[in-house]
Amino acid sequence: MKSLVLAEKPSVARDIARVLGCKETHKQYFEGPRYIVTWALGHLVELKMPEDYDRKYETWRLEDLPIIPKKMGLKVIPQTSHQFRAIERLAKRPDVKDCVIATDAGREGELVARWILQMIGWNKPIWRLWISSQTDRAIRDGFRQLKPGAQFDRLYESAVCRAEADWLIGLNVTRALTTKYNDPLSAGRVQTPTLAMIIEREREIQSFVPVPYWTIRAKIGSITAVWERHGEHRLFDQDEAKQLVARLDGQPARVVSVKRKRKSEPAPLPYDLTELQREANKRFGFSAKKTLSVLQRLYEQHKLVTYPRTDSRYLPSDMEATMTERLLAMKSGYEDVIAPLLAKGKAKAAKRVFNDDKVTDHHAIIPTDERLNLSRLSTDERKLYDLIARRFLALFFPPYESETTTAVFDIGGEMFVAKETAVVNFGFKAVLGKEETDAKPTLSHLAEGQTLPSVQLEREQSFTEPPARYSEADLLAQMEKYGLGTPATRADIIERLVETEVVERKDGRFYPTKKGKQLIELVNEELKSPELTARWERELEAIAHGKGNPKQFLANIRRQTEALVAEIKQSEQTYRAPNLTNLTCPECGALLKERKTKDGRMLVCSNLACRYRRRRDPKLSNRRCPQCHRRMEMHEGKAGLYFQCRPCNIVEKADETKRIAAKGSERALLKKYSPSNESFGTSLGELLKQALNEKEE
């Protein structure tokens, strides 16, 4: 009898199969003496869409909302149904005794596998592979310590609640807004409060009025001291600033106090996903999505780092024994740092990083014991790996120690303060590449009561500044603070805001668009508040740990869906699509909207029932107008490809051969019109020549 192992991706399945000795390679699985390893392609099963319950929902109508099925159903995703059928066939083999879920060890990974097994009708035992790295050793150890599937039933319930809640709220509110205001308007429990934060920051910036203020500096020999009163060093009264400078300039300075304070700063904890995304954005300008993509390659393809989608920055205590092996594996890339550590014997990481109580489903992101070969990594992979590696190595170094000297001077009854910091021990900062240069001390020779003559004063005017627009790092920090989304979903939420054209990314900062500003005014106050989704995440977390009630959670979501849709229906607010033009659709007469796409500017019909679209700057074909002989524009309409000459108002429909050729699909053309698919020589050239009526320059 054999175990069916279900991985999430083909690449992971291939590694697991190799470790388990599955040497028979088939199109959709690997097989060995004890195991059959197959894979999903991400989600193979999804929640049914409204039209799957009733065909009338294919047309979006406000009067049909809210759509709240009594019981949410599942369906196989058509595009990947071939892989689902393959898994189904394997599951029904008589020699298969149980299933090992080997999808990503997290909420979504659990959902991927459980939905597949539910659709198959699986009724045999289930085991769970729960590992935090993809190295051969981790896979072998994981299979020796498989956990009963029932141990993760609550995690699955939490995942189902999340999926159904997002379907009910997101789908209904999005359909209601779109049909009410006749423009694609998307809303959801995470993206809407994130948009609200960006817009609130924009309001702060636009309403900000700069206020002038003055600072006064005293030059006391080689020392520079700053005027201070009750902890404030800014003066907002210009006359007072002038009077102070006039009164105090040239007077002696008396040393009131000289205090020295030692500071010890321990090495920072390793990264969780969100902090790594923030750091990569600050250092390299990586988007959150790019960081996750590069990190996933380091985890799956190169096996150099542990599981990426984690919200923990701690390590379990049993990993303490693996530290030396990890250092040895990294040595080729960081020998100058690691060699001295290993020369002392067994290297020890900071004790505070090992904390079982603060490890969630996964521990912090650290290097694995896979042998490092930097030459195999791309530039982006090296950059990201270096961040992770140095943060890990810092754990083996002593704290950064510094001494700050603060001198307080009395000049004519006013207080002036000077500070300087000297490094006592660079400690871990030497590893992170954040070394500070030692400045020449200027306060060390001072003594209380000492008087220094002839002080020179300088007055400088500045203006208060508005808060900066959010960078990706800032936005991730805010999302983490308010519990918006999870480390695994935040990058996609940010990209979704950009794709739906409610925010723009300019020079690494986020700007709300006219569409986004209007949308936020149409949305329910509770839905755009981060407190709502933070409460959801707390409830989902409680369900995952067996402390919440999934039925009660979903009952509340259904009531909330009804209330949100009712509010949109009754709303008297107005909305105008910001990209509406004065051009009319040739097929239905409605106004056209202009959209920016990767193919250039497109004109799209504002009537949601009409599918008309064409390029704003249409492609010119090689077809000539029969009247003026200009090259005709090429368009794709309801009836297919057609050519148009606007000056002569002539339209000609393309036949099927020319349609395929004009689209540039040479292989499709060859397959359709040639008996052989083997050559791309003269035969193809003749076909294209014939199809295009000979190319005209």
Q: Name the DSSP class of 305.
A: B
CA distance 186 to 497: 9
Task: Dihedral sign for Cα 523, 529, 531, 537, please.
Answer: positive
CA distance 686 to 694: 9
Q: Which of 35, 307, 400, 470 is catalytic?
A: 307
Before 66, cis peptide (omega within 30)? yes
Q: Which two tokens stand for residue 277?
A: 């995304």
The amino acid sitting at 535 is R
Coil, strand or helix at 50: helix
Coil, strand or helix at 468: coil
- State the residue for tokens 């295009």: 692
Determine contact, residues 307/427, Cβ cutoff 8 Å: no
Q: DSSP letters along 517-550, please?
A: HHHHHHS-TTTTSHHHHHHHHHHHHHHHTT-S-H
| CA 293, chain centre distance (Å) | 9
Q: What is the largest CA-CA distance in the chain?
A: 102
Q: Which two tokens stand for residue 185?
A: 């308007």
Coil, strand or helix at 212: strand
| CA 74, chain centre distance (Å) | 27
Q: Is 307 a catalytic residue?
A: yes
Give strand pairing partners of 419.
Answer: 406
Determine contact, residues 338/325, Cβ cutoff 8 Å: no
CA distance 106 to 155: 8
CA distance 390 to 392: 5
Neighbours of 464 (CB within 10 A): 12
Determine contact, residues 223/406, Cβ cutoff 8 Å: no
Task: Dihedral sign for Cα 651, 655, 656, 662, please.
Answer: negative
Q: Which two tokens stand for residue 562?
A: 């009804």
Q: Which two tokens stand for residue 451?
A: 């008087």
- State the residue for tokens 């097994």: 117
Q: Which residues are catalytic?
A: 307
